């Protein structure tokens, strides 16, 4: 499956993207103004708070970095996204 995904990204998606950019068709993504403020709910935790959350977790998982696994463009470890 990874090989199929990589082929799609390298061959079909790039052609599709080039077609979409060069054509006069409506964009895939559009911004619709709503004239309302959206409350931001994300935050950067202090190191101590992040450690506390990890220490209290019932389980942890490490997954291979999908970009590195599929595209293989760098020699950094798969087990981390840095």
**What is the token pair recorded at 36?**
């309302």
Contact partners, residue 21, CB within 8 Å, separation at least 6: none
Measured between alpha carbons, how far is 78 from 82 in angstroms, rounded to an integer?
A: 10
51 vs 67: which has the higher pLDDT: 51
pLDDT band at 65 (very low <50, low <70, confident <90, very high): confident
pLDDT at 76: 80
User: Which three-class secondary structure string do you get for 29-76?
Assistant: CCCCCCCCCCCCCCCCCCHHHHHHHHHHCCCCCCCCCHHHHHHCCCCC
């Amino acid at each position: 499956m990874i090989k199929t995904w990589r082929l799609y990204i390298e061959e079909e998606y790039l052609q599709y993207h080039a077609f979409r950019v060069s054509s006069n068709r409506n964009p895939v993504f559009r911004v619709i103004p709503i004239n309302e403020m959206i409350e931001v709910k994300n935050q950067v935790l202090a190191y101590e708070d992040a450690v506390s959350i990890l220490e209290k977790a019932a389980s942890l998982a490490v997954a291979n970095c999908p970009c590195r696994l599929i595209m293989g463009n760098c020699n950094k470890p798969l087990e981390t996204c840095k």
